[in-house]
Structures are given as C-alpha cells and as structure tokens.
Structure 1
Amino acid sequence: MTEAQSKTIVEGVIGAATAAAVAGNETSLPGFGEFKVKETPERKARNQATVATIKVAAAKKLAFTPAKALEDLLTV
C-alpha cells in the first residue's frame, strides 16, 4: 500500500468518526477504543484572580475510552 493510499484510508476513518461525533453518536474502533460525546452541565466556577463567581456554559466533550487490548499493551 502506498503512502497516499494509507493517508486516504486514515482520513476517511477520521472523517467518519468526526461525523459520528457531530451527530452525537459513539464510534468504536475494535482493538483501539471508543469515542463518545459527553454533555457537561452548566456549572459555577471561581475566577482565582478576582475571586468572582462565574457561570461556565454547558458543553459537549469528546471522551475516549481505550480498548482492553490497548490498555494491556500500555501497562506491560
């Protein structure tokens, strides 16, 4: 396989994972891990410089959970 072909495949996988995340779906890559969109609620925080309380808006975050096979390789 050429470098250009490999690049096209990797970009396609990343594009599909990105599209799934934007749609709010999870993506699983067997043997590697799982990507999920998690929603964080609005919360209060404190500005350390001014000690003022501020609101942090609700947000969506992309979380990654590695597959057991990957975790096993990393802990050896």
Structure 2
Amino acid sequence: MKYTDIVDQVSTATGSSKADAKIATDAVFASIKAAISSGEEVPVKDFGTFKPKETAAREGRNPATGEKIQIAASKGVGFKIAKGFKDALNA
C-alpha cells in the first residue's frame, strides 16, 4: 500500500475530498512523529503501540574484511502489535 492509497481510503471512508484527506493524513503522521521524537509512546487503539527505541554504540565487524568497526548509537521506532490485531492476522 502506498501513501496515495491511504489518502484515497481516508477520503472514501470520511466522504471528504482527497485534498482534505491528505491534510488529515499528514497531520496524523506528523503528530505520531513529533510524539515519538520527544520520547513518548503512541498507543493506537486496536492497532498497536509505537515506541521510541535507542540502540547503544557497539563494536561490529566488516563482513568482507573481518576488520573491527564502531557502529554508532542510533534512534529508531519499535512497534508492538495489539492483541486483537494479532489475533485477526493469525485467524
């Protein structure tokens, strides 16, 4: 599914124009992004929870040469699926 497909489905489900659906979709994603960037979890009922996730710096190896390298610390997003959604997927 592409972003435009999401906008189309929001437009159809709400009976709004595609321009209004795009504004709403952008606002939802911007809100989620802002909350996670500030360290908050974002629970979405019957869908799951988005959580900020930090990975510490660590030592790794270059697979081609075997040379030790430093892998920098990074931030990302974790997602824990809601039980009802998981059950629906596995039904």
TM-score between both structures, scaled by the size of structure 1: 0.90
Relative to structure 2, which stretch is displaced further, 1-10 or 66-75? 1-10
Unaligned stretches of 5+ residues in structure 1: none
Tell me how many residue pairs correspond in the alignment: 76
User: Secondary structure of the residue that 1:72 maps to in structure 2?
Assistant: helix
Which runs of at least 4 in structure 1 moved beyond 4 Å after TM superposition? none
Q: Could you tell me which amino acid in structure 1 is paired with residue 52 of structure 2? A: V
SS at match of 1:51: coil
Equivalent residue, structure 2, for 1:39: 54
Separation in 2, partners of 1:25, 1:32: 17
Greater percentage in helix: 2
SS at match of 2:65: coil
In the TM superposition, what is the alpha-carbon distance from 1:61 to its structure 2 partner? 1.2
Give structure 2 stretches of 5+ with no counterpart: 1-14
| Percent of pairs with identical residues | 36
Partner of 2:16: 2
TM-score, structure 2 as length reference: 0.76
**Using CA pairs below 8 Å that are at least 6 residues apart, which structure has the higher relative contact order?**
1
